[in-house]
Amino acid sequence: AEVMIEPAIYTDNGMSFEAFMSAINDGRDRVLRAWKVTMNWVLTIPRNRPRKGDDIARWAVSATARKGFVVGLGLSGQEDEQPTGQFKRAFAVAKKHDLPRLVQAGNVKGAAGVNEALTELEPTGLLDPYGILEDDQLMALLAGLQMPISISLIRELRLGRIAEFSDYPIQQLYDADVPLIIGSGLPMIYKSSLNDEYEAAVAAGLGLDELEQVALNGIRCSHMPDEQKQAMLDEFTAAYAQLREEHLSGEEQT
């Protein structure tokens, strides 16, 4: 699991960055021991706190962060809270150090906000880019870049952008030749889990083959070392084949 977390929430209350990293990695160790789940971190700048951007970027590329399983820099929040350009310097620092960069864009300005983020911040991945299908040139650009796009259908439902899951254009996104990923956004607030999100994708119209590819995209576009990615891809592909054999052998696979 790659988890976005805002360090400023804790450092503003007197915790040092080193203590913050120690705390979250204590939790990481407990999760690994109890459930065999490995967690890595994307340190995230909140859009309403642009003055924290440089600090968080500096932390994210530090030796402490690299040793502490930080795999990226993120930007989250409403696009109209602060101009995107205010975060340009922080993202340039991450790019200089070859650190992946994830941006939540399109949640207010739609395709225009995504275009702005691409120009100003040069992200390596997009989160919840609502409205991008309205701009053919943008979709062609994203396909050319093979820009990973992570979506949360439950988040869009809770925010009132869709009345039901079938209203979300997930099939069009899947067919648009961009790496589509399903994630769980703010699960404690939006009351969702990754399982819930996959069930929502079924309700939105994705079939078995498409769900399998979306899940594998999550591995392909992760920030694990290449050898770990390939090992997990092989493991998941074999597991899916076994599940098909056990549950769908002789049946139409839809």
Tens of pLDDT along 189-238? Answer: 888 999 999 999 999 999 999 999 999 999 999 999 999 999 999 999 99
Total residues belonging to the chain: 254
The two three-digit tokens of residue 70, written as one number: 């930080």
- 44 pLDDT more than 60: yes
d(CA 92, CA 181): 25
Better-scored residue on pLDDT, 185 or 15:
15
- Quote the Cα angle for 18-82-117, to 5°: 85
Which whole number is the average pLDDT over 8-32? Answer: 96
d(CA 146, CA 141): 8
- 67 pLDDT more than 60: yes
Residue type, position 151, single letter = I
- 56 pLDDT more than 90: yes
pLDDT of residue 186: 85
- 185 pLDDT more than 90: no
- 51 pLDDT more than 90: yes
DSSP one-letter code for 178: S
| Distances from the Cα of 115 to the Cα of 34, 78, 96, 127, 165, angstroms | 42, 15, 21, 13, 26
What is the value of pTM for the model shown? 0.93
DSSP one-letter code for 148: -
pLDDT band at 252; cut points 50, 70, 90: low
User: DSSP characters for 63-124?
Assistant: HHHHHTTEEEEEEES-TTSS-GGGGHHHHHHHHHTT--EEEE-STTTTHHHHHHHHHHH--S
pLDDT, tens digit, for every residue of 83-136? 999 999 999 999 999 999 999 999 899 999 999 999 999 999 999 998 899 999
pLDDT, tens digit, for every residue of 132-155? 999 999 999 999 999 999 999 999
d(CA 4, CA 73): 9
Q: Are 206 and 214 in contact (CB under 8 A)?
A: yes
pLDDT of residue 63: 96
Which whole number is the average pLDDT over 35-45? Answer: 96
d(CA 87, CA 77): 12
Q: Nearest-CA neighbor of 171 among 149, 197, 198, 204?
A: 204
What contacts 195, CB < 8 A, 6 or more positions away?
A: none
d(CA 110, CA 161): 12
SS3 state of residue 223: coil
Give the helix/strand (H/E) hosting 110.
none
